Structure 1
Amino acid sequence: MSGHSKWSTIRHKKAAQDAKRGKIFTKLIKEVTVAARMGGGDPEANPRLRAAIAAAKAENMPKENIERAIKKGTGELEGVAYEEVIYEGYGPGGVAILVEAMTDNRNRAASEVRHIFTKNGGSLGEAGCVAWMFDKHGLIVFSKDKVSEEEVMEVALEAGAEDIRDQDDQFEVVTTVGDFEKVKAAFDEQGLAYEMAEVTMVPQTTVRIEDEKTAQQLLRLIDMLEDNDDVQHAYANFDIPDEILNSVA
C-alpha cells in the first residue's frame, strides 16, 4: 500500500500549503455538522464528531467555526442540510475507487462525479461494486528519516495498534477506528512527528500501476474528485512505484 499512502501524504502536505484552505475548511465543517446531526453535539459521546473536531483543529480551524458547525448539526442554528452519498467505480488500470460525498443536491453531485470519472478514463459503477474491497481503519504514517522503527513499534504496540507496516521509506501504523485517537495521542505524548494521521478506507489488496501515463491519468482523476466541492474523500487501491510517483506528482 506504500504507493497509495505516499500519494496521500503528498496531497496532505500540498493542501496545507496551497490556497485551497477555504475549501478544506468547507469540507471539515460539513463533516463536523453531519457528525453532530447524526450522533449529537457531545464529542465525548460521539466518536465521529470527536474525530471531525480533531481533524478541524489539525488544520487550525478557529474554535468558533467548529462550535457553529456543531450547533448547525444539532439544530441550534439554521444551516444547510447535507446528505451523505457514496459513489463507486473504476479508474485507469482497473483501480477501484470509493468516493464519499456530502451534498445538498444529489443530482448535481452525481452528474459531476460521473463527468470526472468519464473525463479521466474511468467509469462509475453500481452500488457495492468496490466498497467490499475497503475497510475503515485509523492510519498514521511516519517518515523513516524522522523516527526509528523501535520508537514507532514501542509506542504503537503499547497503545494498542493493530499493525505496523514497513513500506519503503515510511512506517504505517494501522489501528481500529475506536483506538485511533488513543494511538495518535500516544505518539503525540512521545513527541513522535508523523506525516499523516487520519481515519481512512484502507484497501484489502492493491493494483500495481507501472505505466507512467496510466499513473498520471489515475492521479488526475483522484485529484479532480477530491477538489470537487461535494466530495469529502476519494479512496483508491492503487500502488504506484516511487520512481513513477515522484515523476508524476
Structure 2
Amino acid sequence: MEKSQAAYSWWSRAHRPYTTAELIADGIVHVLGLIGAGVAGAVLLAFAIMEAAPELPALSIYVTSLIVVLGVSLAYNQWPVSPIKMWLARLDQAAIFLFIAGTYTPFLAVLGGTTTGALMTTFVWGASLVGVALKLIVPEHFGRLAIALYLAIGWSGILVFQSLAQTLPHSTMMLVLAGGVTYSLGIIFHLWEKLKFQNALWHVFVVAGASLHLWAVIDFMVIHRV
C-alpha cells in the first residue's frame, strides 16, 4: 500500500493538494509567461526570417521548446487528479529536458562549424534525450536525480563559456548568467513543498529565468544586428 501511495504521489501531490488560490496564482504566472513567450518569440522569428538569419532553424527549435514547456506545465498543474494528469506529469518533466536543450541551441548555433560547438551540442541534446526517456518510461524514479541532471545540463555551458564570450556580446553573456542563477534559485521553492504558494513561486523563477534567456537571444540576434 505504501509503495502504491508513493507511486501515486509523485504526480498527484496527494500529500498536500494545492488550494484554489494557489492554483489560480500558478495559472496566472503560466499564462503571463505564455503571452510573453508568444509575442517575443514571434518578433524574434519574424526578424530572423526578414534578415534570412542562418540561425533561424535553431531559433525555431528554441521558441517552440519554450512555448511547449510552458503550455504543458500549465496543463499539468491545472488539470484535476486523473489518469490524464499522470500522463501530463510525464510530458511536463520530459519537456523540461527538451527546453534546456532548446535554450542552448541558438547560443551554440553561433559556434557552428567548430569542434567545440559540435561536441557541446551533441552532449546537451544527448543528455537531454536520456532525461526525456527516463521521464517518459520510469517517471516515478530518479526524482531528485532528475533535478541534479537539469542543473548539470543547464550549467554545462561553463565548459564553452570562453568560446561563447569571444563570440557573443558582453550584455548577452550577463543575461545568460543571470537566467541560469534565477533558475537555480528557483529550485529552492520547487523543493520547499510545505511553503504556501510554493509552486507559483517556483514558476515565477522559471518564467523570470526564461525571460532573461529570451532577452539574451533577442540581444545578440536583434539588438546587436540592427
- TM-score band by shorter chain is under 0.3
Q: Give the TM-score normalised by structure 2.
A: 0.28
Q: Give the TM-score normalised by structure 1.
A: 0.26
Higher helix share: 2
Higher strand share: 1
